[in-house]
Chain A
Amino acid sequence: MNRDPTLPILVAVSVILLAAGPFLPRWAMFLINVSLCYGIVVLGMMLLMRTGVVSFGHGLYYCLGAYAAGTLDQVCKISDMAVMLVAAVIVTALASAALGLLLRKYRDIFFAMLSLAFSMILYGLLVKTSSLGSSDGFNIAATKIAGFTVAGTSVERYVRYALTVVCAFAAGAFMYRYLNSHMGRLAEAIRDNELRVEYMGASVRNVIHVNYMISAVLAGVGGALAAIAVGHIDPEMAYWTTSGEFVFVGILSGTSSILAPFLGAFIFETIRSFAYEYSPNTWQMALGITMLVVIMFLPGGLWSLFTRKRKAA
């Protein structure tokens, strides 16, 4: 029986990232930080995709998580990263519990469009709220973590980076355990044939609702971490193009392994960043062509590169 190397790889990569952090150039640390935030969100998307539903509105939770963190800073003057994360989790869990009740009855394109509608409604609400800066958003400065002030110290950047790495590790490990559990395995069964799953006694709607909530919380955590790393939030996070990017990275990565979303997010961010630098006038085209190439030649997503190699060996 094959020993699944996923968890050891996850541990190893996390340790390497943590150790290498101080030696990386700052732009690289930032790039990895943002990629990991994206990766956490896409991890949630992957769970939903395994369940057979695609959400075009996860920007809603990404944005809610970020704004939860931001309003803590702006309104309550609490700028502790740990508290911000907890707030993001609570807010997104509540929101997805409510919206999930409605959404779990839909499938396919209708699920996608309804989730899109809700995220655009949030976008509209935020744009109308001038006290939150309307479409300009506002800056947040997460200065403390669990009571220790880091702002102004030399480790400030590293702490944010390390926090993201730790959260990514936790999310990955959790997802790994979850997918191998009873509920997790039901997800793929539902994707294959819902009727049979119902027939065998499991509640399809409950599983979808729970998976939706988990993915929403992951998106919220990703959003809060992104807000902490970037220092700025705006309603654009809820726009459908942001959600579309998550979906895209999800497909790019493939759904076969929990490591795939992180790899996919990292490659996506890197390509986008270099496309900006080297073809500022045609970066969209470069991105589109790259997408097509990946879709055509790597239908299982980027991760299939690794699985293929192992099979060959």
Chain B
Amino acid sequence: MAQLLAVLIDGLIYSSWLFIIAVGLTLIYGVMKILNIAHGSLYALGAYSAASLAGYWIKQGYPPMGSYAVMLVAAILVGLIAGPVIERGLLRFMYGKDEIVLVLVTYAVFLILEDFVKLVWGVDPYFIAQPYGLLGSFDIGDLTYPNYNLVLFGAAVFIGVVLAWVLTKTRQGKMLLAVIHDREMSGAMGINVGRVYFITFTVGAMLGALGGALTAPMISVQPGIGAETIVLAFAVVVIGGLGSLPGAALAALLVGIVRAAAVHYRPELDLFSIYLVMAVVLIMRPKGLFSAQEARKI
């Protein structure tokens, strides 16, 4: 029983993390039909920036609680800078091209940013130890969890709710949904598709960086974290159905709990668990869990 509870809690925490890193990607793909491999680099940039800024903040002696705000600011800054630079400076010229070419463009950007990160921050892992343990911890049964995990969970829920509200209740959001559904018709109806792309990419970049920033206190930020995260994010996005927010949430939950169960009961399956879930879901529902109905063009 205690183990089952642990599986659920661990699964929920891991799912929250997965959701945060995947939601930006699914948004960008849904709107722009670009599989943004550079999302991994944005995650890494967010993590490194948060680690550096928060580390600086703490070293200067400012109140440690402020480091959370600093991390948030770092993520937003990364998104606001990197997003427009990549979108306006590069992607904008590639929109007419084949989908797969765009993937390659983002892969090239990923490679460039990987080395950029290495040039700026060096190869040593970065860490900021305080924010993780600062909030104390709570006990459930015989297990102790830092309260920071609640922050992670809360952030995931908050982001999900806010995005859902924005997408369905605000005008801008509904325009975004329209573009996701059918780009041509939206343009024909007068929606400024270029601007929608710009906003989407920037928001997606911010979310990716936010994922990195929120993760930074839990890990040691090292070269290569971008690559590891991309595959996870992709898997979640594909399982959930591309461009679907509830899909991403459900997929994150599924993958998180399966992984937690694997680790507790059959640790050797941990390596495969996400790919097995992806294969099984795709076999049963070829377009992911929630897929938008698309008209077939003849």
Contact = CB atoms under 8 A, between A and B. Distances in A.
- Asked if A and B form a direct contact in the complex, defined as CB atoms under 8 angstroms apart, the reply is yes
A285 B113 CA distance: 7
Contacts of B109: 288, 292
Nearest to B239: A113
Nearest to B110: A288
Given A248-B107, A282-B115, A295-B105, A54 B279 contact: no
A106 B99 contact: no
Contacts of B234: 113, 116
Contacts of B97: 299
Interface string A255-288: 0000000000000000000000000011111011
A241 B227 contact: yes
Interface stretch (A21-29, A118-126, A142-150): A118-126
B100 interface: yes
A121 B296 contact: no
B111 A285 contact: yes
A106 B35 contact: no
Nearest to B279: A117
B114 A121 contact: no
A35 B107 CA distance: 21
Contact of B35 (A109, A193, A288): A109
Interface string A88-130: 0000000000000010011011100110111011001101100
B141 to A, nearest CB: 31
Given A113-B278, A124-B275, A292 B105 contact: yes
Given A109-B35, A114-B282, A195-B296, A251 B111 contact: no
Interface residues of B, number: 42
B101 interface: yes
Contacts of A120: 231, 272, 275
B276 interface: yes
Interface of B, helix, strand, loop or mixed by DSSP: helix
B269 to A, nearest CB: 9
B16 to A, nearest CB: 23
A166 interface: no
Interface in A190-217: 193, 195-196
B271 A128 contact: yes
A108 B99 contact: yes
A291 interface: yes
Contacts of A54: 100
A1 interface: no
20 contacts: A108-B99, A109-B242, A113-B234, A120-B275, A121-B275, A121-B279, A124-B271, A241-B227, A244-B107, A281-B115, A284-B112, A285-B115, A285-B116, A288-B110, A289-B112, A292-B108, A292-B112, A295-B104, A295-B105, A296-B94
Given A117-B282, A193-B298, A251-B104, 13 more contacts: A109-B99, A114-B279, A114-B282, A121-B275, A124-B271, A244-B107, A281-B115, A282-B118, A285-B115, A291-B111, A292-B105, A292-B109, A296-B93
Interface of A: 49, 54, 102, 105-106, 108-110, 113-114, 116-118, 120-121, 124-125, 127-128, 193, 195-196, 240-241, 244, 247-248, 251, 281-285, 287-289, 291-292, 295-296, 299
Query: Which 3 residue pairs spanning A and B have beta carbons closest together?
Result: A288-B111, A285-B115, A288-B112
